[in-house]
Amino acid sequence: MAGTLRRIRPFRNIYAKIAAIPMVLTTMVVFVGGTLWTVTYSFTNSKLLPKLNFVGLDQYERLWSNSLWLTSIQNLMIFGVLSLVLTMGLGFLLAVLMDQKIRYEDTFRTVMLYPFALSFIVTGLVWQWILNPDLGIQHVVRGLGFPAFEFDPLSNPDTVLYGLLIAGLWQGTGFVMCIMLAGLRGIDEDIWKAARVDGIPTWKTYAVIIVPMMRPVFITTLVLVASGIIKLYDLVVAQTSGGPGNASQVPAMYVYRYMFTAQNLGQGFAASTMMLLSVLIVLIPWAYLEFGGKKRG
Amino acid sequence: MTGQGPRGAKPRRRLSGRNIMLYGTLLFVSLYYLLPLWVMVMTSLKGMPEIRMGNIFAPPVEVTFQPWVKAWAEACTGLNCDGLSRGFWNSVRILIPSVILSILVASVNGYALVNWRFKGSDVFFTVLIFGSFIPYQIMLYPIVILLREMGIYGTLWGLVLVHTIFGMPILTLLFRNYFSSLPEELFKAARVDGAGFWAIYFRIMLPMSLPIFVVAIILQVTGIWNDFLFGVVYTKPELYPMTVQLNNIVNSVQGVKEYNVNMAATLLTGLVPLIVYFVSGKLFVRGIAAGAVKG
């Protein structure tokens, strides 16, 4: 019996193996191979063409002494922290509001989620227009009889990130709200009944019971939102093109500039390797929690 | 958020303080979400003199469709002045094969991962999922080389392949989770009857999974239509998808800014995902939730 199975198996599975070729090639050649390739070439002095001329950590030293890169990293940190805290916070608050057995829930959800269907390019361009200092919100409020009103975040290097944040939140909070709402709906009705019987006020039930119970949902959302923020590119390109000056540059733009326009491949590879590193910093603790937890349970 | 618990019976008094707070907040938030859509539509229907004088929130005094015509057929990018229609058709030509190919490959992956496990299949799947978190930037250049070697760098098919590759993690996850929820007896019965890999896939799995295919189509149509980075990196200017061309039109530094044309162009580009979103309704929510809740 065992003998016949062993003889038949390679024939039976051959179709499955053929069918899996695209997946194997994608994972091994593109994901693993491509990543290793870029990391390797980040230690070379490749300029216009990739060349295996190793120069140690030169590219990284140059990277971390480049003010454009430092600005990009700083911008990403500020934007990232604010955007993470606000999307998660507002997303959860909106989900709680939506979970109050309200009427027209579907309508409200449709309204909050539609920006998520739009591209970052469309998002960036609309908000660029609304925040236009000469004709947008500032102009309208001034026309209402407040001639000193100032609201022009995109022209000022100190506030441009907040302008991007307004657009980013508009696009992404609906998505977080939806996931959080699904999480809230997944909580057993009996827990609410028990809390009510014990006379625990609603806000306290949320803070002390519901939020800790939704930890997995929070962590998954956190990882999704954070890895999206690190990739931030289209929104900035559309809304500010990295300006004014270089005030809203982000790492992904730096990579693109060095790889495809400045013809300094090694520098682009080093920058993208740093981006990978930052994703790993987010990802490894999460994977550890997820898979470590599963093994114990 | 004060007063009764949220899971209780619907409050009888419609105008309680709690309800005014609740619906007031939700309406205020909805205003923030709806405002850009309103501004886009209104601006695109005004003439430039009216825009320069007026208020971006006000409806047009005189409705004109000229900006739409211009955005579609006359707006310039570089030397080409044939409007966004070029980008639209490029996007359509990229979209259709990308959606079909990526879904076909990913559904077969999911099916093989559930029903035809082989040694190491789970390892590939784990790498695939982790791969979806790797920043695209790190794989951009190796893929340029790969496509060049294959002779499809800068062509539509190169971009189709890229979309198939990067759509694979999420779609494979989607199909794997769906197929593993189907009763295994079905598969076993078909095997006993002598059906092979492809026969089971086409005769049993495919007809039983139409809803998940619809979810996958929604996910891919919006995702691929909205792509910007891959379009810029892997195609030539004549083949730029709509998002890239839109950005080039609106953010071009030459000429007088025509905000009405820009907004008409922006709306036109957003129209396809918006239609998909409004038509698909709850399936869209299911698609994004599938991405969030890992199996």
Q: Is B202 on the interface with A (CB under 8 A)?
A: no
Domain annotation for chain B: domains and CATH numbers: 17-64 (no CATH), 88-292 (1.10.3720.10)
Round to whole Å and give the CA distance between A116 and B109: 28
CA distance B277 to chain A (A): 7
* pLDDT higher than 50, residue B2: no
Find the mean pLDDT for residues B265-272. 95
* pLDDT higher than 70, residue B103: yes
Instruction: Judge whether A96 and A187 are in contact, CB under 8 Å.
Output: no
Residue whose C-alpha is closest to residue B223's, from B287, B136, B142, B279? B287
Contact B56 A129 (CB under 8 A): yes
Contact B26 A102 (CB under 8 A): yes
Among the partner-chain residues A119, A125, A140, the one whose CB lies closest to the CB of B262 is A125
- Chain B residue at shortest CA distance from A105: B26
Phi and psi at residue B154, in whole multiples of 5°?
A: 85, 0
Q: Is B199 on the interface with A (CB under 8 A)?
A: no
Contact B56 A140 (CB under 8 A): yes
* pLDDT higher than 80, residue B1: no
* pLDDT higher than 50, residue B268: yes
Contact A272 B127 (CB under 8 A): no
Percentage of chain B beyond pLDDT 70 is: 93
Among the partner-chain residues A16, A122, A259, the one whose CB lies closest to the CB of B197 is A16
Contact B52 A135 (CB under 8 A): yes
CA distance A271 to chain B (A): 9
Q: Is B69 on the interface with A (CB under 8 A)?
A: no
Contact B36 A231 (CB under 8 A): no
Q: Is B108 on the interface with A (CB under 8 A)?
A: yes
| Identity of the amino acid at B130 | F
Q: Tell me which of A118-127, A235-244, B35-44, B73-82 is least confident.
A: B73-82
SS3 track for chain A? CHHHHHHHHHHHCHHHHHHCHHHHHHHHHHHHHHHHHHHHHCCECCCCCCCCCECCCHHHHHHHCCHHHHHHHHHHHHHHHHHHHHHHHHHHHHHHHHCCCCCCHHHHHHHHHHHHHCCHHHHHHHHHHHCCCCCCHHHHHHHCCCCCCCCCHHHCCCCHHHHHHHHHHHHHHHHHHHHHHHHHHCCCHHHHHHHHHCCCCHHHHHHHHHHHHCHHHHHHHHHHHHHHHHCCCHHHHHHCCCCCCCCCCCHHHHHHHHHHHCCCHHHHHHHHHHHHHHHHHHHHHHHHHHHHHHHHC
State the first-to-last Cα distance of chain A, in angstroms, to the nearest integer. Answer: 36
- Chain B residue at shortest CA distance from A275: B135
Percentage of chain B beyond pLDDT 90 is: 53
Domain annotation for chain A: domains and CATH numbers: 1-41 (no CATH), 58-296 (1.10.3720.10)
Contact B292 A221 (CB under 8 A): yes
Q: Which residues contact B11 (CB under 8 A, 6 or more apart)?
A: B4, B18, B19
The burial class, CB within 10 Å (0-12 / 13-18 / 19+), for B60 is: middle
Q: Is B130 on the interface with A (CB under 8 A)?
A: yes
Find the mean pLDDT for residues B131-135. 86
What is the reported pTM? 0.89
**Banded model confidence at residue B292, pLDDT cuts 50, 70, 90:** low
**Banded model confidence at residue A4, pLDDT cuts 50, 70, 90:** very low
* pLDDT higher than 80, residue A139: yes
Q: How many Cα atoms sit within 13 Å of B146 on the Cβ side?
A: 20
Q: Is B174 on the interface with A (CB under 8 A)?
A: no
Contact A118 B273 (CB under 8 A): yes
Contact A272 B29 (CB under 8 A): no
Contact A125 B266 (CB under 8 A): yes
Query: In this predicted model, what pLDDT tens digit does every residue of A43-94 receive, in sequence order?
Result: 999 988 998 989 999 999 999 999 999 999 999 999 999 999 999 999 999 9
Round to whole Å and give the CA distance between B94 and B235: 10
Partners of residue B80 on adjacent β-strands: B77
Which of A38, A122, A173 is most worth mutating to test chain B (most B CB atoms within 10 A of its CB)? A122
